[in-house]
Amino acid sequence: MNKRLTVAVTGASGALYAVRLLRYLMMNSFEVDFIVSDAGKITFKVEMDVDLDQQTITDFLKSRFGASVMKGRIKEYSNNSIAAPMASGSVRRLGMVIVPCSMKTLSAVAHGAAANLIERSADVALKERFPLIVVPRETPMNSIQIENMLKLSHAGAMIVPAMPAFYQKPQSLDDLADFVAGRVLNLLGIEDHRLFNDWGH
């Protein structure tokens, strides 16, 4: 299995979803190309109490989860780095996840815009036909946003709204976020993650 993938964070609420996904990937020796938008940095600061301009995402994860997350590797890229490897289809990868995905980013990707690295990387994922998983976090949604999700779905993206289930009887916010992270991993073909129990178990 190709264990290299792109994880992008934008300005929608839900930084914990990204943190729990990254925790799993780092504990299981994945190679992550990480991009965070300026608005995503604000969300991280508000929701996770970390300034990603002052601390790397790797250091943050290590401080939160300890040495267990040091099996993998995260390489950070500026959202302005259009020449980064994931901007080219020649660099193969397991997939790309935008988590959480703002309506602004969703709209840009749905309409083929590529004004920054997140949007260009998503465009590459669609054209190269490797998994693009978008985790929108917005409510309620207007018809424009719903149409943009449909457009992205028709283009080949997988839409995973940040809607945790409760049949696994979550005991914490981490459990809720792990459910969404687990659904993302399922779509990447990683089904032995044990982040939640399957229905009926």
Give residue 110's pLDDT: 98
Given this model, what pLDDT does residue 82 score?
87
pLDDT the model gives residue 198: 76
CA distance 169 to 176: 9
Mean pLDDT (10-residue bins), the chain, 201 residues: 94 97 97 98 98 97 96 97 91 95 98 96 96 96 98 98 92 96 95 82 56
pLDDT (0 to 100) of residue 197: 78
Give me the pLDDT at residue 6, please: 98
Q: What is the CATH number of domain 4-187?
A: 3.40.50.1950
Res 1: pLDDT: 78
For the whole model, what pTM was predicted?
A: 0.96
